[in-house]
A and B are shown apart, each in its own frame.
Chain A
Amino acid sequence: NAGVTQTPKFHILKIGQSMTLQCTQDMNHNYMYWYRQDPGMGLKLIYYSVGAGITDKGEVPNGYNVSRSTTEDFPLRLELAAPSQTSVYFCASSYNTGTGREKLFFGSGTQLSVL
């Protein structure tokens, strides 16, 4: 049981380039999330998904896109990368039953530098 797997773990991107951060979970969780963590700051929600085919914006969605074609996968796309997108990105998932009690399972993060 791998849990939440993110790839790559580290990446350097040039300004203006695009890339996709991959996230997959094998726990059959319905809800998935993308957060970013800037130095000295908490995690801020970029996008989330409550099921395959359904996504919604979080606090800081600008410059990102997501898709959820399967339950397992939730890739995050960066278009025209900017230095402000230098951050650590976390993917997370949970089996949400609507009670609020559910635990979030996090991936190990992707450290992305845009230079």
Chain B
Amino acid sequence: AQTVTQSQPEMSVQEAETVTLSCTYDTSESDYYLFWYKQPPSRQMILVIRQEAYKQQNATENRFSVNFQKAAKSFSLKISDSQLGDAAMYFCAYRSLDGYNQGGKLIFGQGTELSVKP
């Protein structure tokens, strides 16, 4: 079974600075998807960024980028120019490429609570 681990329960960053959130995962599959979700105090789950394991190029979305190291099974999220609105819980998640047989379900890490200091 696949597992996702986020070893940093809490992180803090100064506004306008850069912060990196860590995520490792375990799988025997060679193809899969990885995601970062943001959960602000409103509890809404917001997709931040998505990475296909078969792509070597790291995904980027504006100020958000990932460092995907497939061999090391590592998937970190970098937030540049941090803003107050980035304060939230961030979840790393894994999904098998075998969507039909695996039910398309996401496997989540424990989350990292990010605070942004003005």
Contacts and interface: CB of A to CB of B under 8 A. Distances in A.
Nearest to A99: B99
Interface in B32-73: 32-33, 42-45, 47, 50, 52
Interface of B: 4, 6, 9, 31-33, 42-45, 47, 50, 52, 91, 95-100, 103-111
A94 B95 CA distance: 13
Given A41-B110, A100-B33, A101-B52, A109 B43 contact: yes
A86 B23 CA distance: 27
- 8 cross-chain pairs, A with B, having the tightest CB-CB distances, nearest first: A42-B108, A106-B45, A98-B99, A96-B104, A100-B97, A43-B108, A109-B43, A100-B33
Interface of A: 31, 33, 35, 40-45, 48, 50, 56, 58, 88, 90, 92, 94, 96-104, 106, 108-109
B97 A48 contact: no
B99 A90 contact: no
Given A88-B43, A106-B45, A94 B110 contact: no
Contacts of B108: 35, 42-44
B80 to A, nearest CB: 23
- Secondary structure dominating the interface of B: loop
Contact of A33 (B52, B105, B110): B105
B105 A48 contact: yes
B43 A100 contact: no
Nearest to A110: B43
A103 to B, nearest CB: 6
Q: Which of A88, A94, A99 has the most chain B CB within a 10 Å cutoff?
A: A99
